[in-house]
Every structure is written in structure tokens, then in C-alpha cells.
Amino acid sequence: MDRFLIRNNKKPNDGTRNSEPAPKKKKYDESSVKVRRYLSEYLGLGFSATKSDPVNAQCVLCGQVLANSSMKPAHMNRHLSTVHPSHVGKPIEFFKRKQEAFTSNCLEIAKVASVSSKALRASYAVSYLVAKQKKPHTITECLI
């Protein structure tokens, strides 16, 4: 029980400094971290690989990306059984179709959400002209 007590048995400072160096903390070593690899068997659990580096597992049903440390079949199975209980026990062909649909949807969203380069250039040109006038941004109506 004595180890839990806080004691103030410090001696008064007599002006001398402690010559012992402070202990150094260990730095994060990237080589010591275990990076798990994606296996094609994970598609049977409803997870596909992301295109990031390191590769992570992404659910083909909801799009949730699991951390690299969670790329274990037990974690993936738990996600499938808790979040998508109606899809437990489905064949691998079902998840392949879902993966194809998921990737095609992502590509379509990227096409729709992207801004055309010509519109972006025009926006920058107008902003540049407004800045050259050294007036408030309301001058844009007069410039155009």
C-alpha cells in the first residue's frame, strides 16, 4: 500500500543541479510495426482492398474502411455479423457483385463531383482581375 502514497520527502534545493541526463523516450520505429496484407479470402467476409498504401480492408456493403490492425478475419466477421446480419453466410459471388457495383458507384461519383479544369481556370482569372483592381470583391459584377 506504501507504493500508492505520495510523499513529499524532497530535500530543499541547495543550488546544485542534478548532473544526470533526463531519460530519453523511444522514438516510433516504423520498421517494428507489423503491416497486415490483404488476402483474396477476405472478399468472402465482405471486404475488398483499398488502393492506399498500406492496403486496408473496405466493406463492400457500407464502405467503412478498417484499420490495418483490424485486418483479421475475426474482426471482419464481427463487422459482418453486427452491422450486416442479413448478409451472413452469403456466397462469394454475391460479394463480388457488390464490389463491382461499389467501385462503379465510386467512379461515377468522382466524375460528377469533379470540377472541370476550364471552369477552375476561369474562376482563377476572375479572382486575379478582382485582385488587380484592389477593390472589394463586389467589383466582380462590374468586371464581368
Q: Tell me, what's the pLDDT at 93?
A: 92
> How do residues 110-135 score in pLDDT, each as one tens digit?
777 777 788 888 888 888 888 888 77
Q: Does pTM surpass 0.75?
A: no
The predicted-structure confidence for 8-63, as pLDDT tens digits, reads as follows 766 555 555 555 666 666 665 666 677 888 888 888 888 988 887 788 888 998 88
Do the beta carbons of residue 26 and residue 77 sit within 8 Å?
A: no
What pLDDT, in 10s, does the model give residues 102-112?
888 877 777 77
Longest CA–CA span in the chain (Å) reads 80
| Residue bearing cell 470540377 | 115
Q: Domain residues of the chain, as ranges?
A: 33-113, 114-144
